Structures are given as C-alpha cells and as structure tokens.
Structure 1
Amino acid sequence: MSYLNLHGKPDKKFDHLIIAFAGWPDAGESATSSLKYMLRDLGATKFADIDPEEFYDFTQERPRSYRTRDGRRRVRWPSNEFYYWLPQQPATSGSSKGALFFMGVEPNLKWRTYSETIANLALDLGVRTVVHMGALLDAVPHTRQVKLTGSSTLPLLQEALESANIGTSNYQGPTGISTSVMETCTKKGMSYASLWGHTSHYLQAAPNYRVCYTLADTISRILQLPVNLKELRSAADKFDQEVIQAIGKDDQLESYVKKLEDRYDESLADSPMPEPADVVRELEQFLRSEQRRNFGGAS
C-alpha cells in the first residue's frame, strides 16, 4: 500500500535530500524553522506528501482546527511534505544543481513504514546523500557561539566533521525518527549525515533564531544553496537582544548563566570551539574534493 500522494513529480535527479522533523528532534523549533526559511527563500515547490492517517495517534499529535476567511472551519492534519528546488540558471562548477527537501512531524506509529516511504522516494529521485537538520536542548550558555554536533555514515564526510571539531555524540538510549530514517537510507545504499544545533535549555522562546541561523548558514554553504540569510540573521540578532534584556531582569537566572559560562569555557580550554567560518571551510573543502571524484555525478 502506498502512503505517498504525488502532485507533479520532478523529472530530474537530485544528489541531496535535506530533512527536518518537528517534535522531539526540534528543540526551540530551530530545525524546522530553519528549513521553512530555506524553502521560502529559495521558492521551493511542493510535489508530494505522506498521508498521516496510518502514522499518528491523533489523541497525542492532535490535528489543528482553523477558520477560513469565509468563516468555515477546517482541520489541518500533521503534514509531511516533499519539496524540490532547481536553480534558475544552469549549474556551474561549485554551484548547486538543485535539492530535495522534506519537512515532517515525528510520527507516533509505524516508524519503519514511514522511513521506507521517505527513503524509497529519495532513491527513486537519485538521492545519494540525506542530510538531517536537528536541534536538541543542552546546558550551553546563549552567550557563546552555537554548538554543533554531527555525524555521517560517509567516512570522508565524518573526517571532515571531526576536523572541523563537530563532535559525534556518544549518546545511547531512546531515539527519534531521524535515526530510523538514517538506518533505512543506509540499507538502501544512500549516505546519511546529521547536523544538530544545541539550544540553551533555559530559553523557552521558539523559534530560537540563533540556532536557526547557524543551521541554515552551515547547510546552505556546505551544499552551495543560494539562500539569502539576511532576514534570518536580523531575526537572530533581535532574538539575542531580547534574551539579554529578559535575563538582565532575573538575577537568579543571570547567576545561573554565569555558572554555565564558566563550566562551558573550562570544558573548551583544551579543545576550543572553531570559528563558524572555519567549520564551513572544512566542510566545503570536503564537498569540493568529492566533486573532483565525481561524487554525486551529473544529474
């Protein structure tokens, strides 16, 4: 049985699929907000979605009701949508030939079937590497640059991440849908990479535009996506100012942040965090070396 609804499948092959999930892997709505921004700025086209009926317990992931402009009430179900983007000009050396995107809501049921649905469409459209964007809560101070962790099933990309000081988590325990998708994709011969932004756990505001910006900037530069990040950077700067003002009014929280800063700086004393530009440079070098090996081939 097919759970996929197609609305004009693209007649082109794509090297990369970029994915993000709302829910557990999306602290501060950072990953999905970042992907939404990229979709809007690029003018990506929706071409498919997954029917939610079999994958959700609607008493846990409740649909939303809303009223239309003419006063009618409608139901908005959990959405799992595929998009594609193609450059207006022919791709040149070092520029993107286009990309696929998927934004979904972590399902409650049938994770393996759900993962198969995503992986099968990606494989059908030529995808070689799936890149997951996620965000997690962590005891990190908002006054330091955004911490990134990540991993890849592709050895050369894993080496590039490690050389950029983007560490791999040693976590073992309950996991999210992104791990299920990773396992399914790798079994089908696709490479997989995951990049996580660490969100200060004491900040309840969402979206966390600091983390949104860092994720969007890193992913778009690695994959040569021409995303104009000016608006998102402005939102991140405003977010920072509002957080500074709010914490300045709470002595107890301000003291807690100072303790986090001391602990964080001490942990980085022997292994300082790289500058964001250095991180991107390492990963861009990897991508260029892969292009020279014809990795990802011509579409």
Structure 2
Amino acid sequence: MLEPAELYEVAADAPQLDEPVLLVALEGFVDAGNAARLAVEALLADREARNVVRFDADQLVDYRSRRPPLRFETDHWAAYDPPELDVVALSDTADTGYLLLSGPEPDTQWERFSAAVEQIVRRLGIRLVINLTAIPMAVPHTRPIGVTAHGTRPELTEGHEAWFATAQVPGSAVGLMEFRLGEAGLDAMGFAVHVPHYLARAEYPQAARVLLDHVGLAAGLYLPTEVLLKAAERAEAEIAEQVEGSDEVRQVVQALERQYDTVSTGRGERSSLGLSGTLPSADELAAEVERFLAGHGDDDNSDDNNSDDNGDEGRGGAQPS
C-alpha cells in the first residue's frame, strides 16, 4: 500500500477540538430518499464550516464515471466545479464542536483511504466515527421510520433492535472504513435509515431528520433539524394527497401496513422487511409517487435552504427502532 498520509493534508490553521465526533456521509453509495445528502445539507445550512482535512480527490475519484461539471460560455470554458472530499469543523446548536467528512465516495484505493482515516482519527483525537446512510425497505410511509445501527463494539448499538441477522451486501468505502477502524480497536458505528422503497428515488426529508435524531443521540450533539422538519411536513401532505387520489396507491400502502404491523407484533418474520422486499404493484406505486413529487422538490428545497426559522431543533426525540 502507498503511504496513506500522502492522500490528505491537514490545514495549518485547523481548529483544535477536544475529543470530537466525526460524522461521515459520502456520495455514491446507496442513499434512499436522498436522506444522507439532505442530512448533510441541514448540517451545513447557515453554519460556519472550517476546513480541517482535505483529501486529494485527484487520486480517489474516477472522473470519467462522475464527470464533474465544466461551464461553457459562448466561446470559452468559464468555470469548473471539482470534486471535494473534506473534513470540516462545525458546531451544533449548543456550540459543541464536531467534524464532518463529506464528498464523493472514493472510486479507488479504499484500503489506503481507510488507513488515512485511521491516521486522522488518531491525530485529531476523534473519540467516535459515525457514518450516515439510507436504505430502501418494504415499509409504508405511514409507520415509524426504522433505523439499522451497527458498530465496532456491541456497546455502541445497545438499545437498537437488530433488523437483520446475516446479509451479503455490496461493499462500500464507508463500510470498509468502519470494519478497519474496528480491527484497529477504534470506536466507529453507523446508522442506516429505512426509506419506503417506493420513495427511494424521491427526496424524503422525514428519513433525514430521523437519521440526524439518532446520530445526535449517539454523539451527544444537538444537531439542527428545523429545515428538515418544515420540508417533511410538506412532503407528508404531498404524499397523503397522492395516496388519497389513487386507489392503486392506497391498496399497496395498506398491504405494506398490514405486513409491517404483523412483523411488529411478532407474528411474522422480520426478513419480510428486508432490503429488497416486493409486493404486487410496488413499481406502480413508486412511479406514481415519484411523478407527483418530482414537480415539488426543487422549489421546496430552495425555500428551506433560505429559511432562517428558529423552530424545532435539537438532539432529537426519536427513539431507537
């Protein structure tokens, strides 16, 4: 392996935090409902982000698969938006400092990247690494949103119900990173929020808010969720309108509700709520809901990003599922 330290640079003026938590949300792995992306946007909204570590994206990103945008104006190239994979320092609503690693998931050198993260964890005295993901599940939007928790020590996931026994899933950089950190004796964990599979390609801010609720509880942070709360209220109303207007949609949601309730009361097998559960007409439901939401997402998000509302925010009241 090439030297991991040559993958990144620590800022000379990086703020010094006392045993911070590092949150990790990388683009490219599964992100049902865009929940992890929405969570990152909420964390960065109206917050000062101070650079701590910058990874050399030129070594990690496959440009031909991602195609970062170049802007052409009349007769020349005017701007370039390069991929950035950075660790920044933020503060929660109680002014407690923490770190956030976000940007594109490395396409190459996963082992070297994981070793680099381990070096950073040790160098900065990071006490806990938490990664954020979102997975599609055969669950209805009318029931509490579940979360799968995992960690390098059983103590890190106490109080969280296991949804899976054993599952073989495609690898990810964050998954390997957590695995290697555990082998090195460092504390790392993650939360995968469950998004109704028929909403997996739409924006589902409800899931992002639940994700931040759980992360806040685990990290001891008061994370800002007011933007997500407002977006979730609008999304709920839009989904309810779509369900009400379609007998087919309503029937599929009711079937999912029956399945969920059966499993929740212990009369079914939890495997029926797996990663790729299917029910009759689920594809039709997905298509109808996505078509309905497609015309609303951009306007709603721009409103939220410009909001200075000081409403609900905090470490979150969601109870582990």
Task: Say yes or no: TM over 0.5.
Answer: yes
Change (3 A) 1:11 1:230: closer
Please name the residue that 1:239 is paired with: 235
For 2:9, what is the secondary structure of its paired residue? strand
Change (3 A) 1:277 1:87: closer
Cα shift at 1:268: 0.8
Cα shift at 1:42: 4.6
- Within a 5 Å distance, the mapping from 1:1-299 to structure 2 comes to 2-7=6-11, 8-40=13-45, 42-66=47-71, 73-86=78-91, 97-161=96-160, 165=161, 167-168=163-164, 170-204=166-200, 206-270=202-266, 277=317, 279=319
For 1:212, what is the secondary structure of its paired residue? helix
TM-score (norm 2): 0.74
For 1:178, what is the secondary structure of its paired residue? helix
- The whole-number CA distance in structure 2 between the counterparts of 1:251 and 1:52 is 48
Please name the residue that 1:287 is paired with: none
Return 179-188 or 135-144, whichever deviates more: 179-188
Opposite residue 128 of structure 2, the aligned amino acid is T
Opposite residue 246 of structure 2, the aligned amino acid is D
- The whole-number CA distance in structure 1 between the counterparts of 2:171 and 2:192 is 14
Asked if the contact 2:42–2:224 (Cα under 8 Å) also holds between the matched residues in 1, the reply is: no
Return 43-52 or 111-120, whichever deviates more: 43-52
State the Cα deviation string for residues 174-229 of structure 1 (Å, max 9, x = none). 22222111122223331111111011111155431010111112212332323332
Q: How many pairs does the alignment contain?
A: 268
- The whole-number CA distance in structure 1 between the counterparts of 2:18 and 2:147 is 30
For 2:133, what is the secondary structure of its paired residue? strand
Change (3 A) 1:169 1:80: farther
Change (3 A) 1:194 1:271: farther
Opposite residue 121 of structure 2, the aligned amino acid is A
Opposite residue 193 of structure 2, the aligned amino acid is G
Asked if the contact 2:92–2:224 (Cα under 8 Å) also holds between the matched residues in 1, the reply is: no
Let me know the Cα RMSD of the aligned residues: 2.9
Change (3 A) 1:225 1:43: farther
Cα shift at 1:87: 6.8
- The whole-number CA distance in structure 2 between the counterparts of 1:158 and 1:214 is 16
Opposite residue 142 of structure 2, the aligned amino acid is T
- The whole-number CA distance in structure 2 between the counterparts of 1:16 and 1:96 is 14
Asked if the contact 1:220–1:227 (Cα under 8 Å) also holds between the matched residues in 2, the reply is: yes
Question: Percent sequence identity over matched residues?
Answer: 22
Cα shift at 1:141: 0.8
State the Cα deviation string for residues 157-182 of structure 1 (Å, max 9, x = none). 23333xxx354552113222221111
For 2:108, what is the secondary structure of its paired residue? coil
- The whole-number CA distance in structure 2 between the counterparts of 1:29 and 1:57 is 22
Return 58-67 or 170-179, whichever deviates more: 58-67
Runs of 5+ consecutive residues of structure 2 not aligned to the other structure: 271-315
Cα shift at 1:254: 2.5
- The whole-number CA distance in structure 2 between the counterparts of 1:249 and 1:199 is 22
For 2:100, what is the secondary structure of its paired residue? strand
- The whole-number CA distance in structure 1 between the counterparts of 2:226 and 2:86 is 26
Asked if the contact 2:92–2:223 (Cα under 8 Å) also holds between the matched residues in 1, the reply is: no
- The whole-number CA distance in structure 1 between the counterparts of 2:224 and 2:175 is 30
- The whole-number CA distance in structure 2 between the counterparts of 1:223 and 1:39 is 17
